[in-house]
Amino acid sequence: MKKPNPNFKLAALLGSLLLALAVQPAVAEETGAVVPSVLTDGVNAKSGRVDNMHMTRYVEFFLAAPDPKSKKLVAACFNTMFTPKGIPPSRDTAPQKLVEGLDFSKIKSEFGVIGASLNGPKLWSPDWTDIEIGKVQTFNGIEAAWVAQLNMEEGNRDVDKSIPYKPVTIARKSALGWNKGTKVLLLDDADGNTWILKGFQLGIHPKHTYEEFVAAGQSNFKQLPPGWKFRVKVLEKDLIEKPENGVAWIMPDEFFNVYDKTGPGMMNYKP
């Protein structure tokens, strides 16, 4: 019987080690390429309409990760107003105690994303919304439904760090509207565009009420760009937003109030 060749054993051992080392990067690459499931929560979204929404309290959760195709950073948006439960009589879809208990490090880990951030609490300005509603997720007991996907600014993983008065785009097939007679808040920029306030920022610790903000008018603003103006208007006819190409332009102000662009391609007119 032949004795085992020690050189053969050594070669086999080295071969195993090299194979293991060769496999490790592939596994790491594969792991890094896993797409968070929340980016597909809108795949089977269905259209739904909600009325009587004006001044409903809500929050939105933004879960950010690289888009698997473009590799650019996007964020799935989940809104508390569009769950099957509907809007309660209190018009509060984001209870304060539950909002205060949110842990965004835990949320990032739970959903496998690189960024998790909060929009709100806010008050919703439109009277109605017809929107694509996807999967419902739960955040510290707060239910919120997928409603859109936001294109994030390069290097910014958190929506609450958005730059004031810098417009960004959001993929949106939804329609929303303000009825004739509704009081709206508007920003006119230096290029002649008009932006309508969609979500009024309360925040976890409100600095002012909606009524106080409206009463103070333009004096609220300390960072308004040159040539920009704030105004309040009671609509003389229904204002309807439905982006023609499925992409809406939105913009935060210095208080993190959020505005939508009006006019051609976005809404039926510019108020």
Contact residues for 174 (Cβ-Cβ < 8 A; gap 6+): 129, 130, 131, 132, 147, 148, 242
Which pLDDT score, from 0 to 100, does residue 134 have? 95
Give me the pLDDT at residue 155, please.
56
- Answer yes or no: is 94 within a domain: yes
Q: Are strands 142-151 and 168-171 parallel, antiparallel or unpaired?
A: antiparallel
CB 36 within 8 A of CB 112: yes
Q: What is the pLDDT of residue 69?
A: 84
The verdict on residue 213 lying in a domain is yes
**CA 245 vs CA 24, 238, 258: distances in Å:** 44, 21, 21
Please indicate, yes or no, if residue 242 is contained in any of the structural domains.
yes
Q: Which pLDDT tens digits describe the chain residue by residue (271 residues)?
A: 444 444 433 333 333 333 332 333 322 233 345 778 889 998 999 998 999 999 999 999 999 998 888 888 899 999 999 999 999 999 999 999 999 999 999 999 999 999 999 999 999 999 999 999 999 999 999 999 999 888 776 655 555 567 899 998 887 778 999 999 999 999 999 999 999 999 999 999 999 999 999 999 999 999 999 999 999 999 999 999 999 888 999 999 999 999 999 999 999 999 9
Which pLDDT score, from 0 to 100, does residue 70 have? 83
Number of domains in the chain: 1
Task: Identify whether 20 is part of a domain.
Answer: no
Q: Is residue 240 part of a domain?
A: yes
Q: Which residues pair with 182 in a beta bridge?
A: none
Q: Which pLDDT belongs to residue 159?
A: 59
Q: Is residue 109 part of a domain?
A: yes
pLDDT value at residue 84: 94
Q: What is the DSSP letter of 127?
A: S
Within a domain: 245: yes
- pLDDT of 23 reads 30
Residue 12: inside a domain: no
CB atoms within 10 A of CB 92: 14
Q: What is the domain extent for residue 204? A: 38-155+164-261
